[in-house]
Structure 1
Amino acid sequence: MKKVHIFILKSYLGPLVMTFFISMFILVMQFLWRYVDDLVGKGLEWHVLTELLFYASLQVVPMALPLAILLASLMTFGNLGENYELTALKSAGISLIRIMMPLIILTVLTAFGAYKFTNNVLPVANLKLVSILHGVKETRLELDIKENVFYQGVDDFSIKVKKKNPQKNMLYDVMIYDHRDRKARNSNVTLADSGRLMMSNDKKFLKLTLYNGVRYDEKIGLQDQKPNAEEGLFRTDHFKQQTAIIPLKGFDFSKTDENLFKNSDRMKNLKQIINDLDSLNTEKSKFIDNLRLRSKSFYFSQIPISRSKPGKKTNKPDRLSMIDSSRVVNADSLFLTFSDNQKQVIMEMAMQKARSTKQTIDERLRFIEQKDRTIRRHKMEMHRKFTLPFACLIFFFIGAPLGAIIRKGGLGMPVVISVLFFVAYYIIDTMGAKLAREGVWLVYQGMWLSSIVLLPLGIFLTYKSATDSAIMNADAYTIFFQKLKAKFSRKKKRNIRD
């Protein structure tokens, strides 16, 4: 029996490794396609791209591993069934569950490793990847000056050339506008027959050497001279060679500080998520308790409106001050005792108070909703650390019995079936995650929706395969429909005779 188990393991491990790396490659290419606009033309060094691809590969493991297990189990048991090796093992009295046992143990160990990966490795990979991607997005494109087009890539300068020679790094008929003086825009212009443009190795400075040119400055003395004075308003400098060092910002790549993203739910392990959930729930509860205490202390301020006429002194107390706070007062009756002007003042004050109260309530509700969203995202990430290992088990119990039923190996039919199942799983999982994120469903309901849908299918296929069901046999369905057709034909003839 050990030889059989070793044979099954060898037949499974090869397709598993192959399909895993194929899935990783496809998903990483999808990642690059998504961020191609941010990567092209940045002049990133090879070690930055290598680090980016490495962390991107780690990030797609949760999607690649279940797909690889599904495809490898389908291929393995499809090959065993196609070569009648599975039939020989069953004829020897070995059940399908016993044949699958070494792979079940391997899948359980793989699921445990997947949990460790999502809990310990994936948060660090997400943090590193986000830091690199943010740095790449903040990096400017490489210096690429086109002919007859003003180049705005250098801060405070506009550069235009009529012709350039990339081999010699020469520019011809150069025009440069200096915009460092915001108040006198386009007042400083430099024209040159040719020039050479060089960027420092660290991409922090631009060395621009111009030949046979002239510099026009129209703002010299513009602020100090009198309105009618014309002296000192213009300046022209001719030169045979002029070198300028222009500081550059944003052309060199630098990682963004990782501390900016550490508070995100994707960057935390299970222990950190549980601790942060306790803190978030405590903070939310304290805020709600304080809100309840404030709501109990709300009262309408007394409106000091005198019933006496203007300019006439009276010793009579105010009508509102005569009201005993312990008695129940009919507000409508009290309101009708005031004059029209007093009623208008009361209404305006009430409207102002209502608007202020509504604005305060809306702000507090937004704070509570924000806390709820943060709590839901942390709970989703906590459940996601367990849904991946469980998905590995479900896909194995779908792929292995299905491969034994269809008895087709290779990369043909198994690939088609695996892609269909994985797309269905991904759609259901995305829909459940969206419902959980928006608070329509409870978090555990949305996060475990895909597993709940596919688990009965895995149990059904395992049962049908263990009982040698002909569920995927086309001949069985043909015979069934022929019997059904014959039954209806006999019934029709019987009705004709009657």
Structure 2
Amino acid sequence: MKKIHKLILKAFIQPFFVTFFIVMFVLLMLFLFKYIDDLIGKGFEWYIILELMMYASATNVAMALPLSILLSSIMTFGSLGENYELVAIKSAGVPLSRAMYPMVLMVTFLSISAFIFSDYMLPVANLKYFSLLYDARQQKSTNLLPEGIFSNSFPNYTIRVHKKDPDGVRLYGMMIYEKNPSTGNNNVIFAKEGSMYRTPDDSFLVLKLKDGIRYEETSGDKGYNPRQRLTRLRFKETEQKFDLSNMKFKRTNESEFKSAYQMMNLKQLKQARKEIEFKLDSGLSTEFRTFSPYVKYFSVPHQTKPNQVKYKLAANLLNTFKPEERLSTVGAALGEARSLQETIVSKIEMRKGAAENVRRTKVEYQRKFTLSAACLVLFLIGAPLGAIIRKGGLGLPVVVSVAFFLIYHIISTIGEKSAKDGNVSPVVGMWIAIVVLTPLGFFLTYKAATDSALFDVDIYKKFFVRIIDQTSKRFKKTRTSIG
């Protein structure tokens, strides 16, 4: 490897890692902003949050890696062009395509690594991430008794606290409804003040109530009315104990999430698609046997066999029945028609769902490859673009890279949605962004190799100034001729 190649490769590696971690940090902050309400105030251990953030970072690689390659390639060649190092390389007889050779190898290695990651590691990360996120969102808040709100945190109890001290221990104006599933709210407790604490093993929440009254409704000695007798009990101090077992963080079995296509690799996606298509084919044969008699005898013309007795239906078949039999005959025919219609509708919806699942498996299958292709295409855009704009740092390269990445992301999102809806083929929908941007990459590479001033502001400024001058001269000649 020549020194020029080492120089370019060294200039690329450092910005790549810096931009990659910056993009990952931004995406991780977006994740926290999105799910902050589902994570705060639920008493998670610190390692649960850290584990969730780690899995979220792994799922963000599919977006962070192409963007960081695009940004770092623009920064690398933009810095080389700004410091006239690219001019010196070209003056030494090394063309731009040859100068990009080590970076092409580097990006190719990253693309292969991205494919391996998306096929082997990303399904596992998605499984861990979505299962843990689901359990975290299902976890109840540790603020069991908020002020001024009827809380249903405990089964068969509804509790309202009028006011709480800042320490969260002293309570005032308490109201507790003890619900009976069969008869309703049979017991009600009112207390002027109280306090709450947890048992040492964190299994129960204990409420110490003071200066209160308890109302109980029970069945009487006679009759079956469960609310016949009302009992009122006054107390100076009492305790209520509530079970906290359902408040602890519980993990769902990860096998319940493995059926999602995002948690599958290429082999599993192929197997899932084959199973769905097999069910579709077997269902089609069953449906054919169900509906073929109707098609055969009412839609397809047929001839009688030589030894078959010929028959001919009457012009008005109902006239052949007795008057008292006509209504039951018509009702039976309508019932059979409705049953057949419902069967057809259910079969259609079932086939639509199965066809949608097949499309989703194909979309996820193609996604394994589009990540690697996106890295190559965005590098093909970024490297010549940096050589053209000749600006390094995190200023103009960030703006340009974000603009091109948004174009790629919007096109790929629209294509993916169209593929899932069945408007286009999954292959076309997932590769449309790559197909659109690849010619642009070759065009920019050609312009950079020919030292085109494609983004030189002065050239465009002179062009518009010349047009304005010509327009003003023509306007003056027109006014002079009219005058």
TM score, norm. by length of structure 2: 0.88
CA contact (8 A) 1:203 1:251 kept: no
CA contact (8 A) 1:205 1:247 kept: yes
- Over the aligned positions, Cα root-mean-square deviation in angstroms equals 3.3
**Cα distance in structure 1, aligned partners of 2:383 and 2:168:** 63
After superposition, give the CA deviation of every residue in 1:205-250 in whole Å (9 maximum; x if it has no partner): 212223454433232xx1543489x9x9343445444333211354
Counterparts in 2 of 1:146 and 1:288: CA distance versus 1, 3 Å? closer
Counterparts in 2 of 1:286 and 1:482: CA distance versus 1, 3 Å? same
* Structure 2 residue 402 is matched with structure 1 residue 405: no
CA contact (8 A) 2:41 2:143 kept: no
- What amino acid sits opposite 2:337 in the alignment? A
Q: 1:89 deviation in Å?
A: 0.4
Deviates most, 463-472 or 69-78: 463-472
Q: Which residue of 2 aligns with 1:85?
A: 85
Q: 1:70 deviation in Å?
A: 0.5
Counterparts in 2 of 1:374 and 1:203: CA distance versus 1, 3 Å? farther
CA contact (8 A) 1:143 1:153 kept: no
**Cα distance in structure 2, aligned partners of 1:72 and 1:146:** 50
CA contact (8 A) 1:24 1:60 kept: yes
Counterparts in 2 of 1:236 and 1:430: CA distance versus 1, 3 Å? same
Q: Which residue of 1 aligns with 2:302?
A: none
After superposition, give the CA deviation of every residue in 1:382-435 in whole Å (9 maximum; x if it has no partner): 000000000000000000000000111111111111111111111111110111
After superposition, give the CA deviation of every residue in 1:75-102 in whole Å (9 maximum; x if it has no partner): 1100111111001100110010111110
Counterparts in 2 of 1:223 and 1:272: CA distance versus 1, 3 Å? farther
Counterparts in 2 of 1:86 and 1:245: CA distance versus 1, 3 Å? same
The counterpart of 1:425, out of the listed 384, 390, 408, is 408
- What amino acid sits opposite 2:188 in the alignment? V
What are the residue-to-residue correspondences of 1:117-266 with 2, within 5 Å?
117-167=117-167, 169-179=169-179, 181-200=180-199, 203-219=202-218, 222-226=219-223, 233-266=229-262
**Cα distance in structure 2, aligned partners of 1:100 and 1:491:** 49
Percent same amino acid among aligned pairs?
Answer: 40
**Cα distance in structure 1, aligned partners of 2:173 and 2:474:** 97
After superposition, give the CA deviation of every residue in 1:278-331 in whole Å (9 maximum; x if it has no partner): 2222221121122223332447999xxxxxxxxxxxxxxxxxxxxx967584x5
The counterpart of 1:461, out of the listed 444, 465, 474, is 444
CA contact (8 A) 2:220 2:229 kept: no
Q: 1:174 deviation in Å?
A: 3.2
Q: Which residue of 1 aligns with 2:317?
A: 335
Q: Which residue of 2 aligns with 1:379?
A: 362
* Structure 2 residue 284 is matched with structure 1 residue 285: no
After superposition, give the CA deviation of every residue in 1:250-293 in whole Å (9 maximum; x if it has no partner): 42212221111101100001111112222222221121122223
After superposition, give the CA deviation of every residue in 1:327-347 in whole Å (9 maximum; x if it has no partner): 584x57363864694766654
**Cα distance in structure 2, aligned partners of 1:480 and 1:59:** 47
SS in 1 for 2:159: strand
- What amino acid sits opposite 1:276 in the alignment? A
CA contact (8 A) 1:134 1:255 kept: no
Count residues with an aligned counterpart. Answer: 471
SS in 2 for 1:216: strand
- What amino acid sits opposite 1:457 in the alignment? L
Q: 1:440 deviation in Å?
A: 0.9
Counterparts in 2 of 1:243 and 1:105: CA distance versus 1, 3 Å? same
Which structure is larger by alpha-carbon Rg, 1 or 2?
1
Deviates most, 448-457 or 335-344: 335-344
**Cα distance in structure 2, aligned partners of 1:325 and 1:242:** 92
SS in 2 for 1:471: coil
TM score, norm. by length of structure 1: 0.85
Q: Which residue of 2 aligns with 1:472?
A: 455
Counterparts in 2 of 1:368 and 1:252: CA distance versus 1, 3 Å? same
Q: Which residue of 2 aligns with 1:434?
A: 417
